[in-house]
């Protein structure tokens, strides 16, 4: 990485504003590391006070430290700075739970942008080298406003698959054809989106399947995908060879660059913990289990399940007789009464399984004892699972997860569905888990994963597509002032 620095004499200074969610923060941190370590960027990572508060509760830091201190002070002396600003809401405001709709309103009604503008201005006034680039999550509806006001190059960062971007980008086309926001939504396949041969409406993102389209999230989507049209660059955490048709179609419309997967740059040497929840170490427990015998179960950082679903999963796991690690976040059920697991669960599973509030997912997935991943199909989880060669049992819950499931199960055949119906039943879970963890049944998926994993790996090599795309992005930044 160090050797490449000389090719990038021009020192850009980017303000990087990720969406304040774990699944967006992780790839944003990794891209920041990549830009700073191999492209001679100075990065100022902009975050919110409540997130900083959460991070410091999850992983105690010295007062003078932030999550990038280690890489700033480490052997490579990366110039990644860290600023946190107020978003105008109280620290303990339940932004992703009971007050989600109100918090989303903050994005669309012009309140949050005032705080961000102030933060950006402060960074610009005090910065050396001069800030010239804004890298902002594509979900923000007002990236262009900030970039224009401060004369910055506008780079949009999309952390989900290109296919999902493509669907949102063509939201008006979906509407015109009656697949979205219509009284009688069509149920036949969608075959008119550029670069998408055919898509079952059930594979649209949850927001595109909803009948009430007047929510704040719908306003954000429509504003954000209007705004992204004026981005000078869209960087996407995907791999060109994996989503070629979609990417080629998008490139005919906007400057779209596949630069993923971003996670690999987080080598142990410069690893930094990005967790918003304290992690439990599962390695000792895993060390005592046979190879490929443990099912890892996690629904990511955000998805809410019903209490009934959690109960059915618990019974399914208990009855399956399979080893498992289950990440059961404290806030996984909205308004829960503190009782999530059935009576007798602990005794029922004995040492066969452990339930933890959060863990180091990469460490778990890379452990030889892991044989399968029951996942909600978050995009980061999918990339990580492929990277470690772990087949997936898919239970999408909301947002892009339905579309991601299609890629995993139907296109790449590296996973299978937990259930065909949305309703979870313990008996089906039990049967599915047993069959999934029977290694003979996943042989085919394992073969396919090797192929897909190879694409990820080669994309990151020196002459790989993601490396080249990131190079082109930086060259374009240098050429056109
Ligand atoms: N993750 C983790 N520990 C856990 C669960 C998840 O470190 O116990 C990480 C996981 O590695 C991934 C991110 O959290 O990088 C979740 O992102 P994803 O896109 O999979 O799902 P989201 O949380 O956005 O729904």
Q: Cα(381) to centroid of ligand 1, in Å? A: 6
Asked: is 283-456 a CATH 3.40.50.2000 domain? The reply is yes
Residue 26 CA, closest ligand 1 atom number = 15
Task: Give me the pLDDT at residue 266, please.
Answer: 47
Instruction: Give, using CA atoms, the residue closest to atom 17 of ligand 1.
Output: 23
Whole-number pLDDT of residue 265: 53
d(CA 468, CA 463): 6
pLDDT at 474: 96
- Cα(107) to centroid(ligand 1), Å: 23
Instruction: Give me the pLDDT at residue 8, please.
Output: 54
Give the Cα separation of 292 and 294 in Å (integer).
Answer: 6
Is it the case that residue 271 has pLDDT exceeding 80?
no
Query: Of ligand 1's atoms, which has the minimum distance to the CA of residue 24?
Result: 24
Answer left, alpha or beta for residue 394, where phi above 0 means left and psi between -120 and 50 means alpha: beta
Mean pLDDT of the 51-63 span? 87
Give the residue whose CA is nearest to atom 24 of ligand 1: 23
Structure-block tokens of residue 101: 């709709």
Encoded tokens for 364: 């778990």
What is the rounded average pLDDT of the residues 12-25? 97
Question: How far is it, in rounded angstroms, from Cα 317 to Cα 373?
Answer: 13
pTM score of the predicted model:
0.96
For the CA of 401, the closest atom of ligand 1 is 25
Q: What average pLDDT does the chain have?
A: 93
Centre of ligand 1 from the C-alpha of residue 362, in Å: 9
- How far, CA to CA in Å, does 167 sit from each of 35, 164, 201, 204, 250? 28, 5, 11, 8, 10
Residue scoring higher pLDDT (165 or 419): 165
Q: Give the distance (Å) from ligand 1 centre to CA of residue 207.
A: 20
What's the mean pLDDT in 282-304?
97
Which of 297, 301, 329 is the pocket-test mutation for ligand 1 (most atoms within 8 Å of CB)? 301
For position 304, what pLDDT does the model report?
Answer: 95
User: What share of the chain in percent tops pLDDT 90?
Assistant: 84
Which ligand 1 atom lies nearest to the CA of residue 365? 11
> Ligand 1 centroid to 151 CA: how many Å?
34
Q: Which of 272, 300, 356 to mutate to test the pocket of ligand 1 (most atoms within 8 A of CB)?
A: 300
> Comparing 13-265+460-479 with 283-456, is the CATH topology the same?
yes
pLDDT at 9: 60
**Ligand 1 center–CA 178 separation, angstroms:** 34
Task: Name the closest-CA residue to atom 13, ligand 1.
Answer: 23
Instruction: Determine the Cα–Cα distance for residues 287 and 472; give it in Å rounded to an integer.
Output: 43
| Tens-digit pLDDT profile for residues 328-348 | 998 899 888 878 999 999 999
Confidence (pLDDT) at 5: 44
Q: What is the percent of the chain with per-residue pLDDT over 70, rounded to a whole number? A: 96
Closest atom of ligand 1 to 356 CA is 8
Each residue's pLDDT tens digit, 77-128? 899 999 999 999 999 999 998 899 999 999 988 899 999 999 999 999 999 9
- Calculate how far, in angstroms, residue 22's C-alpha sits from the geometric centre of ligand 1: 6
Q: If we measure between CA atoms, which residue out of 17, 43, 11 comes closest to residue 157?
A: 17
pLDDT band, residue 4 (cuts 50/70/90): very low
Q: How far is the CA of 189 from the centre of ligand 1 (A)?
A: 31
Structural domain boundaries in the chain: 13-265+460-479, 283-456
Query: Which residues lie with the beta carbon below 6 Å from any ligand 1 atom?
Result: 21-23, 26, 298, 300-303, 327, 358-362, 378-381, 384
Distance 480 CA to ligand 1 centre (A): 36
* pLDDT given at position 60: 78
pLDDT digit string, tens, across residues 395-443? 999 999 999 999 999 999 999 999 887 789 999 999 999 999 998 889 9
- Fold (CATH) for 13-265+460-479: Rossmann fold (3.40.50)
Pairwise CA distance, residues 46 & 86, whole Å: 11
Tokens of 428: 């089906």
CB 170 within 8 A of CB 152: no
Q: How confident is the model at residue 465 (pLDDT cuts 50, 70, 90)?
A: very high
Band of pLDDT at residue 480, cut at 50, 70 and 90: low
């Amino acid at each position: 990485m160090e050797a490449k620095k000389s090719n990038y004499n021009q020192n850009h200074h980017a303000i990087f504003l990720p969406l304040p969610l774990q699944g967006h923060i992780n790839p944003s941190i990794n891209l920041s590391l990549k830009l700073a370590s191999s492209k001679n960027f100075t990065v100022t990572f902009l975050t919110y006070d409540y997130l900083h508060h959460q991070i410091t509760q999850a992983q105690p830091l010295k007062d003078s430290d932030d999550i990038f201190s280690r890489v700033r002070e480490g052997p490579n002396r990366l110039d990644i700075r860290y600023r946190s600003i107020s978003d105008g809401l109280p620290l303990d405001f339940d932004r992703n739970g009971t007050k989600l709709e109100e918090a989303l309103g903050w994005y669309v009604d012009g309140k949050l942008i005032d705080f961000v503008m102030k933060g950006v201005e402060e960074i610009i006034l005090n910065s050396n080298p001069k800030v010239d680039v804004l890298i902002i999550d594509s979900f923000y509806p007002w990236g262009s406003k900030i970039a224009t006001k401060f004369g910055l190059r506008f780079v949009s960062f999309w952390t989900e698959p290109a296919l999902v971007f493509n669907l949102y980008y063509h939201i008006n086309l979906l509407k015109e054809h009656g697949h979205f926001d219509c009284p009688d939504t069509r149920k036949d396949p969608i075959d008119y989106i550029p670069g998408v041969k055919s898509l079952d409406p059930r594979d649209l993102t949850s927001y595109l399947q909803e009948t009430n389209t007047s929510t704040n999230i719908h306003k954000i989507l429509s504003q954000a995908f209007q705004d992204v049209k004026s981005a000078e660059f869209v960087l996407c955490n995907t791999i060109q060879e994996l989503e070629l048709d979609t990417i080629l179609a998008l490139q005919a419309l906007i400057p779209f660059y596949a630069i993923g997967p971003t996670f690999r740059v987080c080598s142990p040497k410069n690893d930094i913990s990005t967790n918003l929840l304290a992690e439990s170490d599962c390695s000792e427990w895993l060390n005592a289990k046979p190879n490929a015998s443990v099912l890892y179960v996690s629904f990511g950082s955000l998805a809410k399940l019903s209490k009934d679903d959690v109960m059915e999963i618990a019974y399914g796991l208990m009855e399956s007789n399979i080893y498992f690690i289950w990440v059961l976040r404290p806030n996984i059920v909205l308004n829960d009464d503190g009782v999530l697991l059935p009576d007798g669960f602990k005794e029922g599973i004995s040492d066969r399984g452990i339930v933890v509030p959060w863990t180091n997912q990469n460490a778990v997935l890379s452990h030889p004892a892991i044989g399968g991943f029951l996942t909600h199909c978050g995009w980061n989880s999918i990339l990580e699972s492929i990277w470690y060669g772990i087949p997936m049992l898919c239970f999408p819950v909301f947002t892009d997860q339905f579309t991601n499931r299609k890629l995993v199960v139907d296109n790449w055949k590296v996973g299978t569905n937990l259930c065909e119906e949305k309703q979870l039943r313990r008996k089906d879970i039990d049967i599915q888990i047993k069959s999934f963890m029977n290694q003979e049944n996943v042989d085919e998926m394992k073969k396919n994963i090797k192929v897909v994993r190879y694409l990820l790996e080669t994309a990151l090599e020196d002459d790989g597509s993601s490396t080249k795309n990131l190079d082109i992005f930086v060259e374009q930044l240098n050429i056109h002032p």
